[in-house]
């Protein structure tokens, strides 16, 4: 049983999946951010591999990508960050990346290095399931779970295809649009959760726009096995740039408050 599967199987409550951009605002601070998220109770850590054109992300995470790239973050840096986290934590780690980054490095090399560093799952945001065969084969050889996005516009036929390829969990997009804090969880997100559940027994995690305990409660009471929070965490990082101690404190507090209401 892999770390992701174990995290869901052993959890007494739905999983809190915390996202931050690797290398934002720099390597050292990012490691401190990861440690703070884990200390606060994050069940699965999602690291965004910074990219120049993160089409799935809104302004908050785009700015984090820009900060990370300006600090000189490369895939090598991201692997080094994971290696450092692994020295003191066994929390499952998932990459959110884009296909260009994987392709340029070489699919086999990227996945092998990710596995060696301690990565458990990889979500390639712009890779359609119909073109994922090679990636899924390499992922299986490396023991890495391929995670896929499912949106409200995804047809039932494609949901079936995605569910057959996915491992670990499925990432359900709670909004129509890009990442970013929203006022409430849409009815469409709950409808999507119910629709996907008919096709798979994999854990379902809702993300995009989730930022408050009320959002988390809405998702988990509707049956989600996990909630994914990104922009709200990155906003805390941005608010505390240059103040690492208060950044860590605020991150721990935020995650622990969210966890209470899952």
- pLDDT tens column, 80-119: 999 999 999 999 999 999 999 999 999 999 999 999 999 9
Q: Is the dihedral of CA 108, 105, 94, 191 positive or negative?
A: negative
Cα distances (angstroms) measured from residue 161 to each of 4, 51, 146, 156, 242: 21, 27, 13, 9, 45
Q: Which CATH architecture has domain 3-260?
A: Alpha-Beta Barrel (3.20)
Q: Please say if the pLDDT value at position 56 is more than 90.
A: no
Helices (H), 95-230: 99-105, 107-117, 133-142, 156-165, 187-197, 213-221
Backbone angle region of 127, left / alpha / beta, with phi > 0 → left and psi within -120 to 50 → alpha: beta
Going by pLDDT thresholds of 50, 70 and 90, the confidence category of residue 188 is: confident
* Residues labelled catalytic: 46, 57
**What's the longest Cα–Cα distance across the chain?**
48
Q: Are 26 and 71 in contact (CB under 8 A)?
A: yes
- Once rounded to an integer, what is the mean pLDDT over residues 10-23? 94
Q: 159, 148 in Cβ contact below 8 A?
A: no
- The domain locations on the chain are 3-260
Paired with 206 in beta bridges are: 172, 227
Q: In the predicted model, what is the mean pLDDT of residues 242-248?
A: 97
Q: What whole-number distance in Å separates Cα of residue 251 and Cα of residue 234?
A: 9
Mean pLDDT of the chain: 93
Q: What is the reported pLDDT for 180?
A: 42
Looking at residue 120, the DSSP 8-state letter turns out to be -
Q: CA distances (Å), 123 to each of 152, 170, 193, 217, 256, in order? A: 18, 10, 19, 25, 25
pLDDT at 181 over 80: no
Choose among 167, 162, 258: nearest CA to 207.
Answer: 258
Nearest to 233, CA basis, from 12, 45, 13, 10: 45
In the prediction, which pLDDT does 182 show?
Answer: 47
* CA distance linking residue 86 with residue 78, whole number of Å: 12
Query: Rounded CA gap, 140 and 150, in Å?
Result: 21
């Amino acid at each position: 049983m892999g770390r992701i599967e174990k995290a869901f199987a052993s959890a007494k409550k739905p999983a809190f999946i915390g996202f931050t951009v690797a290398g934002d605002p720099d390597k050292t601070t990012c490691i401190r951010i990861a440690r703070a998220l884990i200390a606060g109770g994050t069940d699965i850590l999602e690291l965004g591999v910074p990219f120049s054109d993160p089409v799935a992300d809104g302004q908050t995470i785009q700015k984090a990508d820009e900060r990370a790239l300006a600090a000189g973050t490369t895939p090598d840096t991201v692997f080094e960050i994971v290696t450092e986290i692994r020295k003191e934590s066994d929390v499952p780690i998932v990459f959110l990346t884009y296909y260009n980054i994987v392709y340029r490095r070489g699919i086999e090399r990227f996945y092998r290095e990710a596995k060696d560093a301690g990565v458990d799952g990889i979500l390639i945001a712009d890779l359609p399931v119909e073109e994922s065969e090679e990636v899924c084969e390499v992922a299986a050889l490396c023991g890495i779970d391929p995670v896929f996005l499912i949106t409200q516009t995804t047809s039932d036929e494609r949901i079936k295809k995605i569910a057959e390829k996915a491992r670990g969990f499925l990432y359900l997009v709670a909004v129509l649009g890009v990442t970013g804090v929203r006022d409430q969880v849409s009815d469409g997100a709950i409808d999507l959760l119910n629709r996907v559940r008919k096709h798979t027994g994999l854990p379902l995690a809702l993300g995009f726009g989730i930022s408050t305990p009320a959002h988390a409660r809405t998702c988990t009471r509707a049956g989600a096995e996990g909630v994914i929070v990104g922009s709200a965490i990155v906003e805390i990082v941005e608010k505390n740039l240059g103040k690492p101690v208060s950044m860590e404190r605020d991150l721990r507090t935020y995650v622990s408050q969210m966890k209470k209401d899952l």
